[in-house]
Structure 1
Amino acid sequence: MAAPEVREGGAAAPPRPGFRPDIQGLRAIAVLLVVLFHSGVEVLSGGYVGVDVFFVISGFLITTHLLQSLEREGRIRFGRFYAKRARRILPAALLVAGLTVVAAWLWMSPLLLRKVVVGAIATALYVPNYFFAAEDTNYLAETTPSVFQHYWSLGIEEQFYLLWPALLAVGFWLCRRSERRVMVLVAGLTAVSFLACVVMMSVAQPWAFFSLPTRAWELGVGGLVAFLLRSGARWLDSPRTGLLAWAGLAGLVAVAFSFDEGTVFPGWTAALPVAATAAMIIGGAAPGSMHATALLSVRPLQFIGAISYSLYLVHWPLQVIPHAATFTEQPLPLAQSLALGALAVPLAWLLYRLVERPVISWSVLRERRQWLTGLAAAAASLAVVATSTGVALAGAQQSLASERSAAPTPQAVEPEGTAFVPANLSPGLDDVAEDNPSVYAEGCHRSTHDDDPSGCRIGDNAEAPLVFLFGDSHAASWYPALEQLAEQGKIRLDTNTKNSCLPLDVEQQYMGRPFDSCTQWREGVMQRIDEEQPDLVLLGSYHNPERLLDADEDDPGAGWRDGLTSTLEQIDGPQVAVLQDVPTQQRKPDHCLAKNLERTDRCDVPRELAFQDDLLRAEEDAIAETDTGAAHLDLSRYFCNAESCPMIIGNTMVFRDNHHLTETFSRQMDQPMWEEIEPLLA
């Protein structure tokens, strides 16, 4: 997003010819939508469209400025243009980037520093949007977002500013200074960009979201508004045109309240907030009192509008870094998030008063050759790169284990956790997140969009009993233990697991939408069970009631119980056992332990908070209410004691994330697993 206009003398832009207080108020609405959305205000589930509002505003203002220059001088002074843009945008952006790197080093897990540093360098090189696209970042669903993720929109605008003046200058030359013809050219390019956005959504959503070619149409729409308001069309002078501002405001509010993380975005849906913003800018220029200028011109909105750029820059690190310091995927409490959002306002005001305003009028840069501004911008970018490199080197020196080792501990009930991070930890903290069951690499674990019900079978002993493993990724966590048993010739294993898909006969959801591929996959696996009649079916599920499409908020266990009951009743013949879910850690194991090498108990979850008691009771009730002879297998006594569920037992990491076992620990559970299932196979 672009910085609001300020006077060359450094004061906030006063009412003057060409100044639009309604646009200043629109900036305020846009940044407040974004800040409140990032603060967790659920009712503004579509608040992320505030960035699209900024795109339209930026396209309108920059095109207006360039057209005035072409009209007045017949050319664009590129050096002066780029220098002025650099003075407006870069000082605040690069200062916040540098301070963010330092803050991340102080408070975030050292395991996250590489991601922070790479994001900072991409930001300093003005390509953060392409970095996030290459990382396949899902902006609306990212659970561990980068502290620089909000810089993607600045990358879009900086790249647009680099190309747009040249495009208009060439267009005016080709069209012989006819604004109308250039407007047609711009309309064509805008349409092509919009079409590319829509098409790319079905090919690679991150690239549709973050790349300039697929988002330039939003700034292009703002540019078309600039052409339109200069066209002299009669209807623009009608007071009734002011009603467009009210219609646009209503449309923007509707989008902010109705869009959510499940909305397919950008694509054609982005046209709604873009069109609403364009309508507000057009309507706000109409004569008379029928538009929304009075509402948007109130002093609070004018203040927020003036500091909107600085507010956008500082609000996101204020949300992400404190959240990362909790080492949990759970969002901060709403009161805390709102407090951080409120804190961003005075910090933004300071940034605006001390950096954004003064630098634009700094005589050393304004009165010297334009190359001096470019040199200063390059130096500031290099300073951010140097700071990031220094933090990376410092982070590399941080140990991820204590100096002590721990002896391997055989599997036993009520285990005591290791109080420190052993030097011989297996797997190490830097590898634990990737310690996945081999079923993933072998292509046997189905993705969320794969409904192929065929399983993968291992075990060479043709006489061994056949065991079906059926469920989601929590069922897959038990694959290494069962794989060991298959390699020992005790069982033949047929694995049937799928991401986020419960084996329960109940309507499920994924990303807020009906999970149809789960239903199809589950029905296919149930048919295979009926046809092959295995000796044992093991059901495994992540205890998360939010997976249910129509869960009863007052009694989430009811749908769980009914779904499991139905599944048990449909499995006719084979013995069935329900694996009790593993404990859910409150903190990310590797991130928390990296900051608590000598006090691992600070990371362990208390036992009373480790399980969803209502879902445990629901499973027990379902098993008790059916006459299928299903068993309930509770292996939690091997990784929890009376007080807690430790993250480290002996020298072994138990969890690879908040609620999945490491492959290393799961393989060590082969004998406890065999003791549980052997009687069921007799």
Structure 2
Amino acid sequence: MSQLQSEAPRAAVGGAPLAEKTAHRPEVQGLRALAVLMVVTYHIWFGRVSGGVDIFLLISAFLLTLSFVRKVEGGRSLALVRYWLHQFKRLLPPVAVVLIGTLTATAVFVPQSRWPEILSQSWASLLYFQNWLLAAQSVDYYAADHSTSSPLQHFWSLSIQGQVFILWPLLLAASALLARMLRVRFRRVVLAVFGAVFVASLSFSIAETYGNQAHAYFDTRTRLWEFALGSLLALALPYLKPPRWMRVGMGWLGLATMLSVGFLLDVQGQFPGYVALVPLVAASLVIVAGQTGSRIGADRFLSWKPLMRLGDMSYALYLWHWPVLVIYLIWRDRQEVGPVGGAAIIMLSLVLAYLTTKLVERPLRSSAWVNRNSVRAAVVIGLCIAVVAAPVAGWQYGLKVQAERLTASADKNNPGAASLVPGYTGAEDNPKLYLPRPSRLDDEAVRPAPGCSAENAPDSELLASGCGELRAEGTPSKSIVIVGDSHSLQWFEPLQAMASENNWQIVTIFKGACSFGDPGIGRWPECDEWNQLALDYILLHQPDAVLTVGTAASPGTGSEVVVPGMAEAAAKLIENGTQVIVMRDNPRFPESLIECVESRGPDAIECNPSRDAHMNAEPPVELISELAPQVRYMDLTDFICTDAECPAVVGNVYVYLDTNHLTKTYLQTLQFEFERQWFQATGW
């Protein structure tokens, strides 16, 4: 990911304690303060991911495990429900404050086209499933992809930690019960349980990071080993007693390593696989070094009072720095901030973090009324959820009503692609009537057909997860497979209307960011495997026709190439008796054109980019023709662009959902030309 890749600590970050009283470890408090500084400065000034989030995961499990082990060995009740209420009572108030602040700034500074995403992420952030939402979006490239610029993206890690704060006490309680039943030491059972979690999760993490790193980055399962390592460290710590001179060296080595991880390693591209062991081992060295008592020990620096104070408000600092950064970039229409702007963002984040800690976190933490019993803790949790849920739900409902009213009154004035037919005379340009409404873009992504029936379902889970089917009544007159990535899938929109009229069956075989082609042409491992399975599936089922996108446009270069391996795959399908219809790719752009219109107006040059700068004069189909001469082509570029430009708005309809996907509304206006070219290509 880019500058806007995010990472996040949770209770390990900041003033919210992770458990009940533990032995005071000022170097751990300083360690997490330093880690949050890494996260903030790497994001704001260096546009990189620091690896600091992994350190927070380790610390959170380390402290939680210490607390629970002491409870069990001290004969105290774990009181899980009270623990969970206690934890989320401390964590949710700052979250509610930041979400309300972010929503307010969104209404003022953020284009309407981004509102649906931010509103949906508000629910995900509040209810601790943000990471799963982003994991789905990371492989869902047919949707508007603004995940890297969402002001709430950083909640993905908070969500993972919230999930682990529920899971870990359950595992510890189960370990205590098992130890009692087997009459063995509790620590031995905990060691076995978290050792197994470590091995299983790390193995899964390595495999998924290799096969689909974008999804793995947000997957809870690929992160559990980082928590498990923190738990194992807590268990091993009493037995790790190196001499003082060695601990002094370990402390500084650990600090130096963790500070340099973001520069030396590709955190965004290689984590959370085995490479993530580097910052975790580095942090472990610091924790094992502990309090050396040496004047030159790293712990002396980590126990520095300003760092301790920063540690107290590091949770709030993390919560605030990311929304402040992203909203600034959106407001200023920039991709990065300079040294001065970055310093201002850090200062504003520090002020907001200080006020949140002083006015929200500390009063609630010390309130005798709130802390008196679990019922009052539940009330605080309920109020925090309600304070955010009410405006989010109301905002979403208001946008829905507004969009329905405007759509009902504007339909007849939105010819879309029909306005590019030579000699067209009709509705004039009117920004008040533009469809779709920017606040309803979540409905504009073309979705796969419903899941495949037993007759057409693939055997492989990898293929089945992206299989959809539009069923015909009885025996279909024709069968069609749409195969490929989101640029192939989007043509399901006009084709399904034709299928309903002619009793055709359509099967969609889709994988985000994975274009269809011969698997011998290497892409990435999971994509190659998916392509082999897709090719085998089509050869087995022998549909009448296959539709796929066969070229790939490059934004801003005028370079358009044939999809690697597409011609080889097409030749195999044709030889097997299936017609292959190849669509030309639509133009792609460096920035979202719908956001361009919102910020600059429909007549701005930037919102009407040159056609030649983004597409070849003619599609590069010679290579396809050489290998598969019977391939048939469809090219709708003349009904997306004029001769000179590719406008953001055509016939009062927004053409693009984001930087490269057509809106469902515009695809519907392309129906007439798609239908003409389809019948011409197939001869049906």
Pairwise TM-score range, normalised by the shorter structure: 0.5 to 0.7
CA–CA separation in structure 2 for the residues paired with 1:213 and 1:521: 26
1:30 aligns with 2:31: no
Note the alpha carbon deviations across 1:511-568, whole angstroms, 9 max, x for none: x657312552576599799x99x9x98762462569xxxxxx9x99597598678779
Greater Rg, structure 1 or structure 2? 1
**Aligned partner of residue 543 in structure 1, secondary structure:** strand
Q: Distance in 2 between matches of 1:38 and 1:367?
A: 38
Structure-2 change in CA distance of 1:104 and 1:572 (3 Å): closer
Equivalence for 1:580:
584
The answer to whether the aligner puts 1:54 opposite 2:56 as a matched pair is: yes
1:614-653 alignment runs, 5 A limit:
619=620, 622=623, 634-642=635-643, 644-646=645-647, 649-650=650-651
1:281 pairs with 264, 282, 287, which one?
287
Tell whether the 8 Å contact from 1:53 to 1:273 is kept in structure 2 after alignment: yes
Displacement, 1:111? 6.8
Equivalent residues in 2 for 1:353-368 (5 A)? 353-357=354-358, 362=363, 365=366
Letter matched to residue 370 of structure 1 = N
- Following superposition, the deviation at residue 352 of structure 1 comes to 3.9
Percent identity (aligned): 22
| CA shift digits 1:266-324 (9 cap, x unpaired) | 7x766554444223210244465786446767899777656532221112223454567
Structure 1 residue 347 and structure 2 residue 331: aligned? no
Shift of the 69–404 alpha-carbon distance from structure 1 to 2, 3 Å rule, reads closer
Q: Work out whether residues 496 and 525 of structure 1, in 8 Å CA contact, stay in contact via their aligned partners in 2.
A: no
**More displaced stretch, 275-284 vs 158-167:** 158-167
* Partner SS for 2:336: helix
Aligned ranges 1:91-102 → 2 under 5 Å: 91-102=93-104
- Counterparts of 1:310 and 1:173, CA distance in 2: 37
Aligned 8 A contact 2:521 2:565 in 1: no
1:473 Cα shift? 3.7
Alignment partner, residue 6 of structure 2: none
Check the 8 A contact 1:412/1:638 in 2, yes or no: yes
Q: Is the 1:471–1:497 contact (alpha carbons within 8 Å) kept by the matching residues of 2?
A: yes
Q: Where in structure 2 are the equivalents of 1:364-375 lying within 5 Å?
A: 365=366, 370-371=371-372, 375=376
The CA distance in 1 between the partners of 2:564 and 2:162, in whole Å, is 55
**Structure 2 residue aligned with 1:540:** 549
1:191 aligns with 2:195: yes
Instruction: Tell me by how many angstroms 1:53 deviates.
Output: 0.9
Q: 1:448 to 1:540 in 2, by over 3 A?
A: farther
CA deviations over 1:331-356 (Å, ceiling 9, x no partner): x8552398776544212321343331
Q: For residue 382 of structure 1, what is the aligned residue in structure 2?
A: 383
Matches of 1:219 and 1:101 in 2, distance apart? 31
Give the Cα separation in 2 of the matches to 1:4 and 1:493. 50
The answer as to whether partners of 1:607 and 1:645 remain within 8 angstroms in 2 is: yes
* Displacement after TM superposition at 1:7 (Å): 13
Q: Residues 318 and 524 from structure 1, CA distance in 2 versus in 1: closer, same or farther, beyond 3 angstroms?
A: same
Q: Map Cα deviations across residues 468-499 of structure 1 (whole Å, 9 max, x no partner).
A: 97754434444555666778889999988765
TM-score normalised to structure 2 length: 0.67
| 2:336 equivalent to 1:335 | yes
User: 1:103 Cα shift?
Assistant: 2.3
Q: 1:192 and 1:419, CA in 2 relative to 1: closer, same or farther beyond 3 A?
A: farther
Matched, 1:436 2:446: yes
Residue 516 of structure 1: aligned partner: 528
Task: Indicate whether 1:309 and 2:315 are aligned.
Answer: yes
| AA in 2 matched with 1:190 | F
**Is 2:194–2:231's contact at 8 Å kept on the other side of the alignment?**
no
Give yes or no for contact 1:70–1:76 (8 Å, CA) kept in 2: yes
Q: Give the CA RMSD over aligned residues.
A: 6.4
* 1:128 matched to 2:128: yes
Q: Is the 8 A contact 1:564 1:622 kept in 2?
A: no
After TM superposition, give the deviation of residue 99 of structure 1 in Å: 1.2
Following the alignment from structure 2 to structure 1, what is the Cα–Cα distance between the partners of residues 465 and 13? Answer: 53
Aligned residue pairs total: 640
SS at match of 2:642: coil
Are the equivalent residues in 2 in contact too, given 1:242–1:289 (CA < 8 A)?
Answer: no
Q: 1:561 to 1:273 in 2, by over 3 A?
A: closer
- Map Cα deviations across residues 78-103 of structure 1 (whole Å, 9 max, x no partner): 99999997897555333223212322
Alpha-carbon separation, structure 1, partners of 2:123 and 2:499: 48
CA 1:61–1:541: 2 relative to 1, 3 Å: same
- Show structure 1 runs of 5+ residues with no match: 9-16, 327-331, 547-552
- Partners of 1:451 and 1:521 within 8 A in 2: no
Tell me the SS of whatever aligns to 1:517.
helix
How far 1:433 sits from its partner (Å)? Answer: 3.3
Partners in 2 of 1:672 and 1:360 — Cα distance? 60
Match of 2:107?
105
How far the C-alpha of 1:393 sits from its partner, in A, is 1.9
